[in-house]
Amino acid sequence: MKDNINKVPTGASVLDEVVGGGFPAGSLVAVTGPPGSGKTIFAANWVYNNIEKLGLKGLYVSFVEGRKNFIENMRGLGLNFEKLERAGKFRFLEMITLKEIGIPAIIEQILSEIADMGADILVIDSFSAILQVIEKSYDARILVHTVLSKIVREMGCTTVIIIEKMKAEETYEPTEFLSDHIIHLSKTEVDGALLRCLNILKARGTEVRQPRLAFTLKGGFKVFRPLIMGGLPEPTKRFKLVPHNKEHYSSGIRDLDAMIGTVFRRGCYNLLEFERNVSLTPERLFRVTVSNVLNQGGQVIILPPQGLSALTVWRSLEPYVYEDALKHNLKIVDFKATAVELVEPYVVLFEGRSIREDMICFWNAISELRRQRDKPVFSIVGFDTLEYIYGKDELLKVIGEDLAKTRNFGDVRLNLVRPGCAIAEHLRALADIYLVVREICGAIILQGIKPRTPLLNIELHTDEEGSEIKITPIL
């Protein structure tokens, strides 16, 4: 191992932060999980990135896969191991004929390869395959002792051992007890969509703040940043414009438009539902769409979800919307009982006594905005606010008319509901597009129910041209 390296990065920047910069140099790491959970991709990504970025040399010993398949599969993820082989920085040791070779010969060959190429990092894939063909427990103990004492401790070769394991709480292998780190990968489903999670079960000498993380195998191995680690920070620049067309408004998220299609077409009645554990306030998500509409000359009216005043929404939009658009193209609903004494020109005041009278006020405001520019109006309605003020039964009396006006005038609607909102069932049935916001493993995840999509992680990217929301599917 290079003398100036104390930590070997995990190959995933977020995971590095969680475990204090990576795995200690010269340590033993057990990566466990069921088939298809991403163990091989994790290990391959770890080896590749450390060779490419730190100039280390790596040996990959496989008892389950041939070299040709490994090289081709990893090339599809953007990992060019052939290039590293030609440079003398990587070797793949194919050991599929395990039973015929025998444990002593295997140990000798691995030790020889490490010494010959001067390997700094090693993967054994998988240790479970070895144990399945070892008839004597004595041989297993010899192998574990050799890996730990000679390869890891004496030769200083940081080693990842892959272990097949359906659940984290299953009986521990001897190797796990001796490991410095244990990472368990798992896969499950959320509303029919694949969810991949990483559990840090052991991290010797490291205090782990976020032991459970969501990840994807899309384009390699990527761990999603949780909110407590700065996931989805405040944008430092205006959002990049995503163009509309004559029939629809863009969501302001180019990736989402490409996945779902015309998210906000004329006459649509859509729903964005927030689950109970989501700690992110709704305006942090809808402001990218509102900004995109306003900055391209569109008109917007917002009836904020519960807990947000007109002033709060205005301030959340102010840094990202052109001043003229804020003054002339935006209206926000507030209630007389809670509005500030000096009512701003952008505020539409509700009395809060009759839902019909207040909704007529809302519809009239939409009509006035439409007349000003002769364009469809984009409206956001927090139905949890309406239900709290007027009750579900009163709300049901106007929801049909609200839907009809949106469709007949060709406007664009995004309805919002929060946990415990009884009207949600009706809005789900009426929605053209229905999206759910979840917080999973601390990260913000979006999922399309109508139409069906994978679980989608939401991230903020900022460069010289501006800020943008990117989404990454969990695959």
Q: Which of 278, 283, 284, 281 is nearest to 438 (CA)?
A: 278
Radius of gyration of the chain (CA): 28
- Look at the domain 7-223 and name its fold: Rossmann fold (3.40.50)
> CB of 415 within 8 A of CB of 221?
no
Neighbour-count burial for 46-83, b at 16+ CB within 10 Å, e otherwise: bbbbbbbeeebbbbbbbbbbebeebeeebeebebebee
- Look at the domain 248-473 and name its fold: Rossmann fold (3.40.50)
> CB of 312 within 8 A of CB of 283?
yes
CA 281 to chain centroid:
17
**And the tokens for 212?**
């459970």
> CB of 124 within 8 A of CB of 147?
yes
**And the tokens for 57?**
């040399």
Nearest-10 crossing angle of helices 383-390, 355-373: 150
Say which residues have a Cβ less than 8 Å from residue 150's Cβ, sequence separation at least 6.
Answer: 111
Cβ burial, residue 336 (10 Å; 0-12/13-18/19+): exposed
Cα gap 327→337, rounded to integer Å? 24
Cα gap 241→468, rounded to integer Å? 9
CA distances from residue 469 to 182, 268, 320 in whole angstroms, order as listed: 33, 22, 13
What is the pLDDT, as a whole number, of residue 104?
75
Note if the bond before 104 is cis, omega within 30 degrees. no
Say what the pTM is. 0.90
Cα gap 401→417, rounded to integer Å? 19
Residue 30: count of CB within 10 angstroms of its CB: 25
CA distances from residue 39 to 32, 98, 187, 420 in whole angstroms, order as listed: 7, 20, 11, 39
What is the pLDDT, as a whole number, of residue 63?
87
Q: Concatenated DSSP letters for 81-126?
A: HHHHHHTTSEEEEE---HHHH-HHHHHHHHHHHHHHHT-SEEEEET
Cα gap 467→236, rounded to integer Å? 7
Note if the bond before 126 is cis, omega within 30 degrees. yes
What is the pLDDT, as a whole number, of residue 414?
97
Residue ranges, CATH 3.40.50.300, the chain: 7-223, 248-473
Q: Which of 100, 103, 69, 77 is nearest to 92 (CA)?
A: 69
Q: Along the 475 residues of the chain, how does pLDDT read in single tens digits?
A: 555 568 999 999 999 999 999 999 999 999 999 999 999 999 999 999 999 999 999 999 998 889 999 999 999 999 999 999 999 999 999 987 655 567 778 788 888 999 999 999 999 988 777 776 665 555 666 666 777 677 888 888 999 999 988 887 776 666 777 889 999 999 999 999 999 999 999 998 888 889 999 999 998 899 999 999 998 999 999 999 999 987 889 999 999 999 988 779 999 999 999 999 899 999 999 999 999 999 999 999 999 999 899 999 999 999 999 999 999 999 999 998 776 655 688 999 999 999 999 999 999 999 999 998 888 999 999 999 999 999 999 999 999 999 999 999 999 999 999 888 999 999 999 999 999 999 999 999 999 999 999 999 999 999 999 999 999 999 9
